[in-house]
Structure 1
Amino acid sequence: MQYVIMPSRDIRRNLATEQYLLNQRIFDEPLVLFYIQTPCVIVGRNQNVRAEVDLSYALRHEITITRRLSGGGAVYDDLGNLSFSFVVNAEHETFGDFKLFTQPIIDALHEMGATGAEISGRNDLLIDGKKFSGNAMYTKNKKMYSHGTLMLDVDLDEVNRVLTVSEKKLASKGTKSVRSRVTNLKPYLKKKFQEISTEAFRDRLLLHLFNAKTMEEIKSQEYQLTQKDEQAIDQLVADIYGNDAWIFGEEPKYTIKREEKFKGGLIEANISVEKGRISAVTIYGDYFSKKETKEIENLLIGCQYEQKAIKQVLAEITVEDYFNNVSKAEFIQLLVD
């Protein structure tokens, strides 16, 4: 295994680096990436930014907004958060198997004193029933990354201010606010780690992953980006992660909004209907998907807005490829009763 410590504190550049390495690297061994960023919100691939983020607050407080390639929900990061990513050859990995990548992190946290840390649900890490890490996956061309956050010492007040989470999603978690669901790791660590910086926390995790005692021992395992790599990453930032067209997308005017929380995640469908047929549809949510949701959206355009017609349109489609752990019947019921 090799590792990358990203020097940038800009989430847009860090996500671009992750994507670049996924696309360009020929894998003879996995990569683990660690990155830290100034205040930002990262929305999932399939989410409606305006429904997840208080944009006026973010603008006033210079909180960067971007969108990632993977599914899942919106997260707030600041310098008290450590992000990690395992970039691997996907031929022998199972999409959605988060435990494979998060268990080594859990083991390291136990070693540092957070013995109550555990994997919960499909993609969360919890301690005392509260979330300190959310994880997501993305796969392309037989390669995959699984990335997540680790809230070491994040400003929890900011989490609650900038994220405007769906009431239905909160209700499904049995709680009333974002703040009540999340926690920082630092209070659970051993006394000697109570003043640890995010950078030192990162290094402790690296040493655990590589079974080493000093950073010098693993220096030869550090992956170095070239100037050519950096230029390509700059272009990805300009084209994608810093581009409003990617971040906000095209949101059609809609007359019907349908939303439901499934085992596989929250799905929101915004549907325009003209003369009984679907004229526009945009689907958001924190679900995970192997294929692009846009493919299903395009199939539904022009379809009669009733169950029988939608069933016919989707007859040959494997819905779980687009909405992991959501059945075709559940998806159709979401669109129209």
Structure 2
Amino acid sequence: MDIKLGKVLKRFTLDFALDMASLLVRAILTIAVVGLLFGQDAAFWLRRGSRRPRPRPQPRCPDPTAVLPGAQTTWDDTFTFMCPDFQVIRRIRSAYCNTARDRVWRFDCESIPGVSVFHELFWSGWVNNYGGIMNYQCPFNAIITGFKSQHNDGREDRRWNVRCSKVYDMVTFNNVLSNVTNELGLPGDYNVSDGFYLRGMHSYHDNDYGVTKTEIVGKHRKVRHKRVSEGTPSHRRCFSSAIPDSGGVNTRPKPKGIVYRSTSTDPFVNLAFEDWLYENQDFTNTDILLLWRNEPTVVIGRHQNPWSECKVKRLQELGIHLARRRSGGGTVYHDLGNLNVTFLTSRDTYRRKQNLHDLVTALKGRWPSLDLSVNKRDDLVLNDTYKLSGTAAKLGRKTAYHHCTLLCDVNTQALKDVLVSGFDGLETTATASIRSEVINLKDVDTSIDTKVLGDTIAEYFMTNHQGQMEQVCDVDPTSEALYPGVGKIAEELKSWEWVYGKTPPFNICLRKPVNGLAVPLGVYMKVKKGVIVDSYMECPLLWVSEGVIQDIGYSMRGRRFRAVDVQAGLEKSLQSYRRMSDDERQFAERLGQFIVDKLV
């Protein structure tokens, strides 16, 4: 009975499935026939209920020259524009396309009256992030002469790189900020006013700027708010006058000038006083000229290696100081026959090359026979051959100083003796000095000495500032009452941690020739921040055991790269290693003494 009922149910299920399939086929055929009769395909009737409108094609941006005659860029492109030689930007025009969400640009340039050369040309680097605020002004009284720009499709914005150009004898003043030069989504056209020059730009980018647009759809009026994002911000530009049109005469009032002459000859005190002025003096309306001399000293740059720049051990034997200054540049030798000159100013009025040209003018005005010039490395040279002065600078956010040496009557024999490395196998990435032939001014004109040289420079400095020679001040930089904190700075500059510990990482190999060996023994060390972080030896195992070699290497690790520390480590190693034979101990002691003698 159960078997028969199962067969009946199975047959009923099969018949029902066949009937439903037949009905579905008939329905599809009916829809297809109706679609053919009415000229539409079946897909139209299947999609009819969704009521989704087809996307409208986006209008393309017109040709750039159609919306901005003479346009020099295209939509969404990366471009670089530079004015022709000796010209600056005078007019900026732009047009906007909502589809590309970008602007096209046209820049017009013209010459500056009386200017036939730019002494410095430099790019700022990117001055804004995509979507961020831009607020940039060319430093050092420079003027804008070009732009680079990149567009980002995702952020629908541009970032900018500014080309700045500088003329040494040009000083900008009367800085003013223009009105908004274009509204969001609208064309822009800005002409720089007569007598003014473009120095900077301020802008913002607005992704959420709403534009209300009314559209009629069927019989219903609907208001749609569309987001409009400009491909570049609306710009407010910052301008300042550089050279008036009245014959090119500079009407900027002279800044106040002060001349300090240090009574100290301690190199650490003088370097500390220089840095104290940099940190504590207000240079908004005042420039300072500092004249100073040092006892015999080798002064290395902030990022240099003393062991690769000079004979450190020889300096100690001769009683010559070793100092590391806080500015960059190369190594110089000071003694009382050398005059050091420091120009301290605000960052905006910093002018390194102009300072050097002023020195040339001052010296040639007093001694016309001197054939002085400034070379490409910003050195003062005599007869285009002999170096008289090295130069370096430190630039801060608001202040800056530029200092240089003047060889008047220096002990050139000592200079040549100590300014060579005492190590052959030293490898370093530290800044290396450029060796040059030097000469003393006194060798050219015997009437020149450091006192007359300083007075000549101070007098010329005062002619360019509001001040009199009577205002040249002899100052004692060790006075804590007048200059609180100078002593602390001097102690920092004198410390081992500063002079040696600030040395960039280096590797060194000390080699000791040994009779009977074709290859000398090698002691290898890796040094970071003046501390030996790794060391090992190359030595024949026939002379000493491998354990002794390893122990000598381990004994120097973690110790300062100086004689007293290394010697203490070697002595401790020799005392603790008891399996050493007498010959091994004698060899280890001689090798240790060789290493210590090489260090300071």
TM bucket normalised to smaller: 0.5 to 0.7
Q: Distance in 1 between matches of 2:341 and 2:352?
A: 13
Shift of 1:196: 3.9
Q: Does 1:218 align with 2:469?
A: yes
Match of 1:207 among 433, 453, 459: 459
Judged with a 3 Å threshold, the aligned counterparts in structure 2 of structure 1 residues 251 and 11 are, in CA distance, closer, same or farther, namely closer
Shift of 1:209: 2.2
Q: Distance in 2 between matches of 1:2 and 1:61?
A: 36
Amino acid at match of 1:233: V
Judged with a 3 Å threshold, the aligned counterparts in structure 2 of structure 1 residues 69 and 207 are, in CA distance, closer, same or farther, namely same
Kept in 2: contact 1:98–1:122 (CA 8 A) = no
Judged with a 3 Å threshold, the aligned counterparts in structure 2 of structure 1 residues 255 and 5 are, in CA distance, closer, same or farther, namely closer
Paired residues for 1:1-337 under 5 Å:
1-27=257-283, 28-93=285-350, 98-113=352-367, 114-128=369-383, 129-164=385-420, 181-189=437-445, 194-211=446-463, 217-220=468-471, 222=473, 227-239=480-492, 241-249=493-501
Amino acid at match of 2:491: A
Judged with a 3 Å threshold, the aligned counterparts in structure 2 of structure 1 residues 56 and 143 are, in CA distance, closer, same or farther, namely same
Shift of 1:197: 3.1
Amino acid at match of 1:249: G
Deviations 1:244-278 (A, max 9, x none): 11111155875599xxxxxxxxxxxx989xxxxxx
Shift of 1:221: 5.3
Kept in 1: contact 2:303–2:503 (CA 8 A) = no
Q: Distance in 1 between matches of 2:451 and 2:334?
A: 15
Q: Distance in 1 between matches of 2:349 and 2:503?
A: 37
Q: Distance in 2 between matches of 1:250 and 1:73?
A: 15
Match of 2:574 in 1: none
Q: Distance in 1 between matches of 2:507 and 2:320?
A: 31
Match of 1:301 in 2: none
Instruction: Report the 3-state secondary structure (helix = DSSP H, G, I; strand = E; otherwise coil) of the residue aligned with 1:132.
Output: strand
Shift of 1:108: 1.3
Shift of 1:188: 2.7
Amino acid at match of 1:198: T
Shift of 1:123: 2.0
Instruction: Report the 3-state secondary structure (helix = DSSP H, G, I; strand = E; otherwise coil) of the residue aligned with 1:154.
Output: coil
Q: Distance in 1 between matches of 2:281 and 2:470?
A: 20
Judged with a 3 Å threshold, the aligned counterparts in structure 2 of structure 1 residues 159 and 254 are, in CA distance, closer, same or farther, namely closer
Shift of 1:228: 2.9
Q: Distance in 2 between matches of 1:88 and 1:253?
A: 33
Q: Distance in 1 between matches of 2:506 and 2:279?
A: 36
Q: Distance in 2 between matches of 1:66 and 1:251?
A: 12
Q: Distance in 2 between matches of 1:208 and 1:252?
A: 40
Kept in 1: contact 2:335–2:411 (CA 8 A) = yes
Kept in 2: contact 1:22–1:143 (CA 8 A) = yes
Q: Distance in 1 between matches of 2:452 and 2:393?
A: 26
Judged with a 3 Å threshold, the aligned counterparts in structure 2 of structure 1 residues 25 and 256 are, in CA distance, closer, same or farther, namely same
Deviations 1:175-210 (A, max 9, x none): xx95x6111112333xxxx24431232112212222
Q: Identity of counterpart residues, as a percentage?
A: 26
Q: Distance in 1 between matches of 2:504 and 2:356?
A: 37
Would you say how many aligned residue pairs link Structure 1 and Structure 2? Answer: 242
Judged with a 3 Å threshold, the aligned counterparts in structure 2 of structure 1 residues 201 and 54 are, in CA distance, closer, same or farther, namely same
- Structure 2 stretches of 5 or more lacking a match? 1-256, 425-433, 510-524, 528-532, 535-600
Q: Distance in 2 between matches of 1:210 and 1:138?
A: 23
Shift of 1:53: 1.3
Shift of 1:140: 1.7
Kept in 2: contact 1:4–1:34 (CA 8 A) = yes
Amino acid at match of 1:160: K
Deviations 1:124-147 (A, max 9, x none): 110021101000010123110000
Q: Distance in 2 between matches of 1:71 and 1:251?
A: 13
Please identify which structure carries the higher strand content.
2
Judged with a 3 Å threshold, the aligned counterparts in structure 2 of structure 1 residues 251 and 127 are, in CA distance, closer, same or farther, namely closer
Q: Distance in 2 between matches of 1:73 and 1:34?
A: 20
Judged with a 3 Å threshold, the aligned counterparts in structure 2 of structure 1 residues 223 and 31 are, in CA distance, closer, same or farther, namely farther
Amino acid at match of 1:147: H
Instruction: Report the 3-state secondary structure (helix = DSSP H, G, I; strand = E; otherwise coil) of the residue aligned with 2:463.
Output: coil
Please identify which structure carries the higher helix content.
1
Amino acid at match of 2:266: D
Instruction: Report the 3-state secondary structure (helix = DSSP H, G, I; strand = E; otherwise coil) of the residue aligned with 2:497.
Output: helix
Kept in 2: contact 1:43–1:74 (CA 8 A) = yes
Q: Distance in 2 between matches of 1:85 and 1:68?
A: 13
Shift of 1:117: 0.7
Shift of 1:18: 0.5
Q: Distance in 2 between matches of 1:146 and 1:55?
A: 27
Instruction: Report the 3-state secondary structure (helix = DSSP H, G, I; strand = E; otherwise coil) of the residue aligned with 2:348.
Output: helix
Bigger relative contact order (CA 8 A; separation at least 6): 1
Kept in 2: contact 1:3–1:33 (CA 8 A) = yes
Amino acid at match of 2:319: E
